[in-house]
Amino acid sequence: MINSAQLTILRSYARKPNPPVDLPESILFDHSDKTLTIFDTYPKSIFHFLILPRISAYTGDGYTERDLTSLRTLLKGGQEKAGRVIRDLEEAAKVCVAQVEEEMVARYKFKWDIWVGFHPVPSMEHIHLHVISADMVSSSMKNKKHYNSFIPKGDFFLTLKDVSEWLEAQPSFFRKMAELKSSEYEPRLKAELACFHENCYELFKTMPQLKAHLQEEWDKRMAREKAKRERLEKLKRKSGSKKAASPSASGTTADNSQASTSTLTAEDLVELEGSQKKRRKTDESDVE
């Protein structure tokens, strides 16, 4: 259950005149004149941030605090007026996504998808844009509602891209989408539990089963990425030592020259592994 202090806590953050002084580091991640980027207190994935418009940046500009209550109240103001706030949130989201990707590489040595979007029926007051990594691996991800409110297949999460498109669309279409009727969206949170990973979509009866499966998906992904890095390293070393060991005089093949390229990327890997195998074969036959 959410109490009234929790309900309005985001608004209290958005009112702060001097965020780095007024908010602890455990809450504030980043800010600009117009927006705050904060850590979600109950992250539903490994990375989960909220971006909020700062009230003082908009109240002098024809917006009331009430206008900023939710996506629905903001869109009520019309395409132009809503668009200004959404574009500011989008700017902050771009910065946040870049920061998250940097952190992904630093901590896990690879990047994965990041979902950016709104909840049509929010559980807290004051509009906020979610920036959440596409893994749903977190101890705070506890129930069906949590899960279905973020996965792209759940039809509940509104991507920033969707909302931006409404803002550019015909006014009649915009007005229809902007209604954000909870009677239309809330039933979608009750959808059955399906793994969100592409090529899987396996169904689960209980949250513990789904959570165990998501953890497995994540562990497999990490193992795949690790194996990919190791193969790449091996190939780099091999092509490097080959180059050093064999002078160009000893019959260089097309395969060899390809493997010697110093700018080896993960994308070249599949191709290279093929040629590596071929060469190993010829090497063996040479020995015999």
Could you tell me if 112 and 135 are in contact, meaning their C-beta atoms sit under 8 angstroms apart?
A: yes
Question: Tokens 């493997």, residue?
Answer: 259
Is 39 or 231 the residue whose CB approaches Zn ion more closely?
A: 39
**Minimum Å distance from CB 219 to Zn ion?**
12
Q: What are phi and psi of 112, to 5 degrees?
A: -135, 180
**Minimum Å distance from CB 195 to Zn ion?**
3
E strand or H helix at 13: helix 9-15
Integer Cα distance of 97 and 132 in angstroms: 9
Could you tell me if 76 and 180 are in contact, meaning their C-beta atoms sit under 8 angstroms apart?
A: no
Question: Which tokens sit at 114?
Answer: 């990041």
Q: Is 138 helix (H, G, I), strand (E, B) or coil?
A: coil
Interface residues with Zn ion (CB under 5 A) are 119, 122, 195, 197, 200, 202, 217
Is 34 or 197 the residue whose CB approaches Zn ion more closely?
A: 197
Is 9 or 104 the residue whose CB approaches Zn ion more closely?
A: 9
Amino acid identity, residue 128? H
Is 108 or 218 the residue whose CB approaches Zn ion more closely?
A: 218
Is 54 or 197 the residue whose CB approaches Zn ion more closely?
A: 197
**Minimum Å distance from CB 122 to Zn ion?**
5
**Minimum Å distance from CB 196 to Zn ion?**
8
**Minimum Å distance from CB 171 to Zn ion?**
27
**CA distances (Å), origin 166, targets 123, 174, 176:** 23, 5, 9
